[in-house]
Amino acid sequence: MLFNSIQFVVFLFIVLIVYRLLSQKGRLYFLLAASYFFYACWSFSYLGLIFFTSSSCFLAGLLIEKAPDRRRKKLFLTLSIVINFLILFIFKYFNFVVQAAQDISTYFNHPAHFDFLDILLPVGISFYTFHSISYVIDVYRGEVQTEKNIFRFLLFVSFFPQLVAGPIARTRDLLPQLRHLDNYKYENFRKGFVLIFWGLFKKMVVADRLAIAVNHVYNHVDQASSVSLIIATIFFTYQIYCDFSGYSDIALGVSKLFGIDLMLNFRSPYFSKTVTEFWRRWHISLSTWFRDYLYIPLGGNKVSQGRWIFNTVFVFVISGLWHGANYTFLIWGAIHGIMLVVERYVYGRSIRDIQPGVDFKNIIRWGITYIIVMIGWVFFRANNISDSFAVFGKIFEFRNVMPDVRSLFVPGGAESLIGLKFYDFVLAIFFILMLVTVSFAVRKSGIINAVLNLSAVPRWAFYIGVTFLVLWFGKFGVNEFVYFQF
Amino acid sequence: MEKKILSRAVIYLVTVVVICELLSFVIPAESVTVQKNMINAVYARRDKIESLAFGRSHGGSLDYNIWDKTGKNLSMGGQDIASIKYSLDYLSPELPHLQEVLICISYSSLYFDNEALSNGNLNDARKGLYAAIPSYKLISANDYNNMVFGKLFAFIQADYGFRKLVKAVKEKEEQKKSKQVGDILVDTAKMLQSAKVDAFDHSKDKKLALQYNPEIREQYLNYLKEIALELKARNVKCIFYTPPFYKAYTDNYPPKDIEETERVMTDLCKQTGTTYYDFSAYRTMADNMALYSNADHLNLAGKEQFTKTFKQVLRDGKGPADFPGLKIFK
């Protein structure tokens, strides 16, 4: 059940009405049932897996709390982490490791054959595993109160707006809110719907339109030209942003309708002036997760320089692998890790002192950051490692550039070059510009405040305008969100 | 609080609906009304209709002005087998004098489905059908978007206004460049003469590959079987046919696909007691370029000749001996 589907509209409508009619206790059970139903629509057979992950972490939390000494607490923590990462490894990384072993053995001229596991990747497994594990670590650290009600904990892990693609909520943020399910306010509805409208626009109008061109070019890299690859790569930077941040906006908006605030996941990342800043603005719930649960325990920046470089690159490589079991994600993570290290040497401590604002230096910084991020996205999007290098090879060939650019304006030319009809191509550029303009205008206040501070007429123009943009220009096919695969 | 939410929701819905109605008034929803008009035309003459024809654009080859039974050709570009089944499920019980249903089989009929054609957009053909037929059954499993927009927002025609504007601009450009249009016609003629016809080959064309869904064939064959058997139970004759194609089209089509179509249609006819008339290689017409508007579509003269020939085959019992190249599968 996708957020941008009619089924979800019906589902949400029913859940909201029933939720309103129930008592606080009833709401807890009902939201849990609704969340499990939501997940069952994806995969009924994997419901058991999410239940096992949740209940094992719930039990680990109780055992850690009751353990008489530090050593046993640590044992339960380790057990819980090992079990959950083992599940994640089997479903997500086992076949990758087998493939890597085969590749290595072939490289050393001793080809070996290992059997692959014939299993499907459960939707959202990386999200809910990280979500659950963070609770156990928080309990171990004594940072949160142990949850005694298993139903509440099951809901904490499976709360449907954030279940399949985040944001990865923190225990101290989400769990206390689930203890008081009475924050049912009109103001929440106003804020929630602004986010839902904006998220739908990003996903259905921008991301799904760009996806047609990106898929057309990146799925046939051998037939692609320099111009088509440049266009597709630029388009992908916006597709991935609109797809994922669109999902996060809708998740935050839907959650708000129930009076529950989820963590902000994006803050106009493409306006970043450094890669370091980019990671403070992109997928914030994941980057802060890695910071708090991996980078800092590894020593963070309070270690020797060599160790700090290792820590930084290691965390980003792991973060890359979190996205998918593929060499492309590994390289993507490594690029970002290395760039963070490079920036530290280029800017030194002054990286924190870069002032916001539109001046010449910042525009140059922004341009460099955008290009680095774009290079990373090539690895992220390419179907495999050889395709990624083929993309760069072809882009820098600069073959047939002018004829290809001219062909965009000939009937049928855009469609054969990038798979988009000419008017869809023009619309794609128009909507990217529109998105950038709006994002720039609301970069300080955020879309909610910007819209809600408007007077009635322009505010309603926003609601109705976005509705018609989605109705006229939205893509209504079954287009999954990119981050569901993680 | 509930009152506030409810009142805002009502204002929102009423505004959206009013704007939609206004747009519908200014820009009538052509693709939906075309389907509606076709179905309504059948319904209006339901006491007289004896024959119906369905199929993709190739089904347009049958001309009911010449046919000997009162009927309506409901063929439409991109009409898939699922849509034919959906239309017939509704229409056949409504037509007391229905005697025959003619279903045109294109080489692509068994693996092209309308949902795949939509590529992320609402499908006009599907939306129009939902708008025209008073049933809330889905044509296919994931078709709910088309159904909702067909049933509830048929008047919206989602991006219709914009596309109409683009079409108008294009037509204006084409009028200006009438010389180029002339060139295109000459090119088509040349292409037909030289037999270089880019047939409907999904293996060569990326765009066609997107629309190619081999997994749907079994489902479509089941639909055709159900259609034939249900019609038989109502004493309505179900006739399958393929119209003539210009020889270069057939020559360029992957032979494997043509053979496969013949094979499955033969099996289907045996299972259902129906007959499949394949005119695709009917020599007199396949060799005559003057009968075509392009490689696989008959022009007016072609349609007239084909309809007369088909009538002779069906009614007078003529066969391949009289019309060389015609194949009949039973």
Q: Which of A203-217, A449-463, B122-136 has the lowest mean pLDDT?
A: B122-136
- Average of pLDDT values for B251-268? 85
pLDDT tens column, A404-421: 888 888 777 777 788 888
Same domain, A121 and A218: no
Question: In this complex, is the C-beta atom of A399 within 8 Å of any C-beta atom belonging to chain B?
Answer: no
**Residues whose CB is less than 8 angstroms from the CB of residue B3 and which lie 6 or more positions away in sequence, other chains included:** none
Same domain, A159 and A257: no
Q: Are A426 and A200 in contact (CB under 8 A)?
A: no
CA distance B314 to chain A (A): 42
Residues 114-143 of chain B with CB under 8 A from chain A are 115, 118-122, 142
Say whether pLDDT at A445 is over 80. Answer: yes
Same domain, A163 and A230: no
Interchain pair A184, B1: CB under 8 A: yes
Same domain, A112 and A193: no
Question: Which pLDDT score, from 0 to 100, does residue A384 have?
Answer: 87
pLDDT band for position B185 (cuts 50, 70, 90): very low
Nearest by CB to A186, which of B5, B149, B153?
Answer: B5
CA distance A197 to chain B (A): 13
Q: Are B241 and B276 in contact (CB under 8 A)?
A: yes
Mean pLDDT taken over chain A: 88
Residue where a domain terminates, one of A121, A155, A182: A182
Half-sphere exposure of A228 (CA within 13 A, CB side): 27
Same domain, A416 and A393: yes
pLDDT band for position B201 (cuts 50, 70, 90): low
Task: Estimate to the nearest angstrom the gap between the alpha carbon of B8 and the chain centroid.
Answer: 43
CA distance B232 to chain A (A): 36
A343 backbone dihedrals φ, ψ, rounded to 5°: -60, -35
Residues of A in contact with B122 (CB under 8 A): 476
Q: Which residue has the higher pLDDT, A184 or A29?
A: A29
Q: Are B254 and B201 in contact (CB under 8 A)?
A: yes
Say whether pLDDT at B326 is over 60. Answer: yes
User: Does residue A478 fall inside a structural domain?
Assistant: yes
Say whether pLDDT at B187 is over 50. Answer: no
Nearest by CB to B145, which of A189, A212, A476?
Answer: A476
Interchain pair B121, A476: CB under 8 A: yes
Question: Which pLDDT score, from 0 to 100, does residue B183 have?
Answer: 40
Residue where a domain terminates, one of A147, A182, A217: A182
Per-residue b/e over A177-193, b at no fewer than 16 CB within 10 Å?
bbeebeebeeebbbbbb
Question: In this complex, is the C-beta atom of B144 within 8 Å of any C-beta atom belonging to chain A?
Answer: yes
CA pair distance A250, A41, nearest whole angstrom: 18
**Residues whose CB is less than 8 angstroms from the CB of residue A217 and which lie 6 or more positions away in sequence, other chains included:** A224, A228, A229, A231, A232, A418, A419
Say whether pLDDT at A260 is over 70. Answer: yes
Coil, helix or strand for A189?
helix
- Average of pLDDT values for B71-85? 87
Same domain, A198 and A75: no
- Count of domains for chain A: 2
Same domain, A166 and A193: no
User: Does residue A237 fall inside a structural domain?
Assistant: yes
Interchain pair A460, B15: CB under 8 A: yes
pLDDT tens column, B221-243: 999 999 999 999 999 999 999 99
User: Does residue A120 fall inside a structural domain?
Assistant: yes
Say whether pLDDT at A196 is over 90. Answer: yes
- ipTM of the complex as predicted: 0.72
CA distance B104 to chain A (A): 28
Say whether pLDDT at B191 is over 60. Answer: no
Length of chain B: 330
Range(s) of the domain holding residue A380: 188-273+354-485
Interchain pair A7, B144: CB under 8 A: yes
Residues of A in contact with B206 (CB under 8 A): 216, 220, 223, 419
CA pair distance A178, A159, nearest whole angstrom: 10
Q: Which of A302-306, B139-143, B222-226 has the lowest mean pLDDT?
A: B139-143
Say whether pLDDT at A379 is over 90. Answer: yes
Same domain, A199 and A99: no
Residue B6's closest chain A neighbor by CA? A186
Say whether pLDDT at B216 is over 90. Answer: no
pLDDT band for position B181 (cuts 50, 70, 90): very low
Coil, helix or strand for A128?
helix
CA distance B124 to chain A (A): 12
Same domain, A368 and A464: yes
- Average of pLDDT values for B78-104? 90
Coil, helix or strand for B143?
coil
Mean pLDDT taken over chain B: 79
Nearest by CB to A6, which of B119, B148, B156?
Answer: B148
Question: Which pLDDT score, from 0 to 100, does residue A111 have?
Answer: 78
**Most B CBs within 10 Å, among A468, A470, A473, A479, to test the B interface:** A468
> pLDDT exceeding 70 applies to what percent of chain A?
98
- Average of pLDDT values for B236-260? 86
CA distance B243 to chain A (A): 29
Inter-helix orientation angle B217-233/B81-91, to 10°: 20
Element (H, E) at B308: helix B300-316
Same domain, A115 and A230: no
User: Does residue A113 fall inside a structural domain?
Assistant: yes
Question: Which pLDDT score, from 0 to 100, does residue A193 have?
Answer: 93
Half-sphere exposure of A142 (CA within 13 A, CB side): 4
CA distance B152 to chain A (A): 12
> pLDDT exceeding 90 applies to what percent of chain B?
30
Interchain pair A476, B122: CB under 8 A: yes
Interchain pair B145, A475: CB under 8 A: no
Residues of B in contact with A471 (CB under 8 A): 153, 156, 158
Residues 403-462 of chain A with CB under 8 A from chain B are 411, 415, 419, 423, 460
Nearest by CB to B120, which of A463, A472, A479?
Answer: A479
pLDDT band for position A245 (cuts 50, 70, 90): very high
Residue A422's closest chain B neighbor by CA? B166
User: Does residue A434 fall inside a structural domain?
Assistant: yes
Query: Given phi > 0 = left and psi -120 to 50 = alpha, else beta, which region is B329?
Result: beta
User: Annotated catalytic sites of A, by residue?
Assistant: 323
Residue A427's closest chain B neighbor by CA? B162
What count of CB pairs under 8 Å joins A to B? 66
Residue where a domain terminates, one of A120, A151, A182: A182
Same domain, A383 and A432: yes
Interchain pair B12, A463: CB under 8 A: yes
Say whether pLDDT at B196 is over 50. Answer: no
Say whether pLDDT at B145 is over 80. Answer: no
> Residue B316 has which token pair?
């007078």
> Residue B204 has which token pair?
């060569």
Interchain pair B15, A464: CB under 8 A: yes
Same domain, A168 and A197: no
Interchain pair A212, B121: CB under 8 A: no
Could you say which DSSP state residue A93 is in?
A: I
Per-residue b/e over A44-74, b at no fewer than 16 CB within 10 Å?
eebbebbeebbebbbbbbbbbbebeeeeebe
Among candidates B143, B151, B122, B211, which has minimal Cα distance to A475? B122
Residues of A in contact with B119 (CB under 8 A): 212, 477
List domains and CATH numbers for chain B: 49-121+196-329 (3.40.50.1110)
Gap between the terminal Cα atoms of chain A: 17
**Most A CBs within 10 Å, among B21, B144, B213, to test the A interface:** B144
Question: In this complex, is the C-beta atom of A220 within 8 Å of any C-beta atom belonging to chain B?
Answer: yes
Residues of A in contact with B163 (CB under 8 A): 423
Q: Which residue has the higher pLDDT, B321 or B127?
A: B321
Please give the C-alpha separations between residue B52 and each of A72, A196, B139, in angstroms, as whole numbers. 79, 47, 20
User: Does residue A469 fall inside a structural domain?
Assistant: yes
